[in-house]
C-alpha cells in the first residue's frame, strides 16, 4: 500500500494508506452505516460523485462477485475504510475488493479513523474533499479542491443513465425465466425512467409480475403518454439516482407532463424527489443525509415500523402535505419518507424497498404498484 493524502473543505488534512485505484479525485464525503453489502453500496449509481465512509470497520472480508453489482460499474469517487481485508472468504466470492476498485477506477483509502470522520460529517455536514496518491502538499490539495466544481453543480444523471432502451428480464436472485414469464403473462408493462436505477429495483419490479422496459433519462413525455393511450404500457416508474434534483430542469419539465395524465406512477429516492419538484414543492438538502441499512420508518397512522435502507442527501419539504398524504416517516429525524398524491394514482418513497435490510421490510410496495398498473 502506498500513501494517500486527504484534504476536506473545512481544512482537515489527513494521511492514510491506499488500495484500489491510484490518482487524484474530488467529491463529496458522506458516511454509510450499513453492516453488510459494501459491494452493492459501492456499485449503486446514486453514489456518483461521492466518497463513501463506511462505519463498519472491517471491509473486504467477503470479496466481490458479479451477481452483487447494482450497475455495470462503480460511479463513486472513493471509499474510506478503517481496516481493509485483502484476504476474503465467502462461498460466493469471485475476487478481492482491491482488484475490483482498480478495475472500476475507484480510490480506496484505509488505515484511517472512520469514527472521527463520521462524527465530523455528523457535526459539520457532508462536505467536498480531495484525495490523492500523487499530491502530498496541503496547500496544493486545497487549491485544487477550491478550483473543482461542487457536486451540486454537476449533472451526474448524464453519466449513469442508460444510453439506449432495453428490456430487463431478471427477477430476484436472477431467476430470469420464471419471473419474466410470469411478468409477460400478466400483460402489465411498465417503463422505467433511468436516472441511475439499481438492478435490484428492476429485479423486484419483474418479480412483482411486471414486464419492464428501461429508457434513458432523456425520455420524452409525449412518447410515453402516446404509448399509454395506445395501451402499450400501463405505468411508469421513476428511479433513484445521484446529485441534486433541482439541477434536473429538463427532466422536471418532462415529469410535469407525466403527472398531468392518468398514468399510474411509482418512484423511489431521486424519482420521489422529482415528483415533489414537478408538483411545485422544491427539495432541500439534509445536513449529512441518510445512508445506511438500518433506518426505521413508520406509517404515521398505523405506526407499523419497517427497517429500511437509505441513500439520499435531499428530502421533500413538509409543504407536500398540501397535495399529498404522508404514508411513511423516518423515526430518526421525522423527515418524510413516502407520500401518495391526492386524487392521483401516483405514490413514491424516499427509502429503498428493494435492499432487503430486514427484519421487517418494504418489498410489498412493489406489489402495490403492480396492482394499479393498467
> Do 97 and 201 share a domain, yes or no?
no
> Do 88 and 236 share a domain, yes or no?
no
C-alpha cell at 265: 406512477
Length of the chain: 374
Residue 101 and residue 21 in contact, taking contact as beta carbons nearer than 8 Å? yes
Catalytic site residue 28? no
> Do 226 and 336 share a domain, yes or no?
yes
Nearest alpha carbon to residue 316 among 350, 362, 265:
350
> Do 138 and 197 share a domain, yes or no?
no
Nearest alpha carbon to residue 324 among 307, 297, 349:
349
> Do 309 and 321 share a domain, yes or no?
yes
C-alpha cell at 328: 411513511
> Do 310 and 234 share a domain, yes or no?
yes
Residue listed under C-alpha cell 427497517: 307
> Do 122 and 192 share a domain, yes or no?
no
The predicted structure's pLDDT at residue 360: 64
331-368 residues labelled b (16+ CB within 10 A) or e (exposed): beeebbbbbbbeebbbbbbbbbbbbbbeeebbeebbee
Residue 265 CB partners (closer than 8 Å, separation 6+): 235, 236, 237, 238, 258, 259, 275, 344, 345, 346, 347, 348
Catalytic site residue 352? yes
The predicted structure's pLDDT at residue 323: 98
**Marked catalytic residue, from 279, 281, 291, 352:** 352
Cα 309 to Cα 252: distance, rounded to the nearest angstrom: 26
Looking at residue 331, the DSSP 8-state letter turns out to be T
**Marked catalytic residue, from 254, 269, 281, 295:** 269
Range of 75's domain?
3-153
Looking at residue 357, the DSSP 8-state letter turns out to be -
> Do 58 and 192 share a domain, yes or no?
no
Q: What is the pTM of this model?
A: 0.96
Residue 202 and residue 211 in contact, taking contact as beta carbons nearer than 8 Å? no
C-alpha cell at 212: 419492464
> Do 60 and 92 share a domain, yes or no?
yes
Residue listed under C-alpha cell 484534504: 7
| Domain end position, chosen among 112, 131, 153 | 153
Sign of CA dihedral 8, 45, 109, 351: positive
Divide the 374 residues of the chain into consecutive groups of 10 and give the mean pLDDT of each group: 96 98 98 96 98 98 96 97 97 97 98 98 97 98 98 95 96 71 87 97 94 98 98 98 96 98 98 98 96 92 89 97 97 96 97 78 91 97
> Do 181 and 303 share a domain, yes or no?
yes
> Do 163 and 124 share a domain, yes or no?
no
| Domain end position, chosen among 153, 182, 210 | 153
**Marked catalytic residue, from 28, 40, 207, 354:** 354
> Do 102 and 168 share a domain, yes or no?
no
The predicted structure's pLDDT at residue 321: 97
Cα 165 to Cα 10: distance, rounded to the nearest angstrom: 42
CATH (domain of 362): 3.40.50.880
How many independent structural domains does the chain possess?
2
**Phi and psi torsions of 292, nearest 5°:** 165, 175
| Domain end position, chosen among 153, 181, 207 | 153
Catalytic site residue 40? no
CATH (domain of 125): 3.50.30.20
Cα 280 to Cα 271: distance, rounded to the nearest angstrom: 14
Report the Cα 291 to chain-centroid distance in Å.
9
The predicted structure's pLDDT at residue 175: 59
Amino acid at each position: 500500500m502506498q500513501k494517500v493524502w486527504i484534504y476536506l473543505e473545512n481544512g482537515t488534512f489527513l494521511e492514510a494508506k491506499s488500495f484500489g485505484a491510484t490518482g487524484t479525485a474530488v467529491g463529496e464525503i458522506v458516511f454509510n452505516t450499513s453492516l453488510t453489502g459494501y459491494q452493492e453500496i459501492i456499485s449503486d449509481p446514486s453514489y456518483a460523485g461521492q466518497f463513501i465512509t463506511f462505519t463498519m470497520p472491517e471491509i473486504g472480508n467477503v470479496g466481490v462477485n458479479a451477481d452483487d453489482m447494482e450497475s455495470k460499474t462503480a460511479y463513486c469517487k472513493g471509499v474510506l475504510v478503517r481496516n481493509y481485508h485483502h484476504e476474503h472468504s465467502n462461498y460466493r466470492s469471485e475476487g478481492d475488493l482491491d482488484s475490483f476498485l482498480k478495475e472500476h477506477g475507484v480510490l480506496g483509502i484505509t488505515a484511517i479513523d472512520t469514527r472521527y470522520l463520521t462524527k465530523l460529517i455528523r457535526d459539520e455536514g457532508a462536505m467536498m474533499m480531495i484525495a490523492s496518491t500523487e499530491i502530498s502538499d496541503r496547500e496544493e490539495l486545497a487549491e485544487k479542491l477550491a478550483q473543482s466544481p461542487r457536486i451540486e453543480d454537476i449533472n451526474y444523471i448524464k453519466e449513469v443513465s442508460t444510453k439506449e432502451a432495453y428490456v430487463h428480464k431478471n427477477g430476484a436472485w436472477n431467476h430470469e425465466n420464471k419471473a419474466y414469464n410470469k411478468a409477460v403473462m400478466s400483460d402489465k408493462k411498465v417503463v422505467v425512467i433511468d436516472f441511475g436505477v439499481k438492478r435490484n429495483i428492476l429485479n423486484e419490479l419483474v418479480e412483482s409480475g411486471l414486464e419492464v422496459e428501461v429508457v434513458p433519462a432523456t425520455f420524452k413525455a409525449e412518447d410515453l403518454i402516446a404509448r399509454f393511450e395506445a395501451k402499450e404500457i400501463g405505468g411508469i416508474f421513476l428511479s433513484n439516482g445521484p446529485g441534486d434534483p433541482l439541477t434536473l430542469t429538463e427532466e422536471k419539465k418532462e415529469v410535469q407532463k407525466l403527472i398531468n395524465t392518468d398514468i399510474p406512477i411509482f418512484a423511489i429516492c431521486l424519482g420521489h424527489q422529482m415528483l415533489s419538484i414537478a408538483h411545485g414543492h422544491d427539495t432541500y438538502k439534509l445536513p449529512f443525509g441518510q445512508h445506511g441499512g438500518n433506518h426505521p420508518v413508520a406509517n404515521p397512522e398505523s405506526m407499523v415500523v419497517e427497517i429500511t435502507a437509505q441513500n439520499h442527501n435531499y428530502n421533500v419539504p413538509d409543504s407536500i402535505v398540501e397535495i399529498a398524504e404522508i404514508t411513511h416517516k423516518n423515526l430518526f429525524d421525522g423527515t418524510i419518507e413516502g407520500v401518495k398524491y391526492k386524487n392521483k394514482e401516483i405514490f413514491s418513497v424516499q427509502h429503498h424497498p428493494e435492499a432487503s435490510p430486514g427484519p421487517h421490510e418494504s418489498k410489498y410496495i412493489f406489489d402495490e404498484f403492480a396492482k394499479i398498473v393498467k
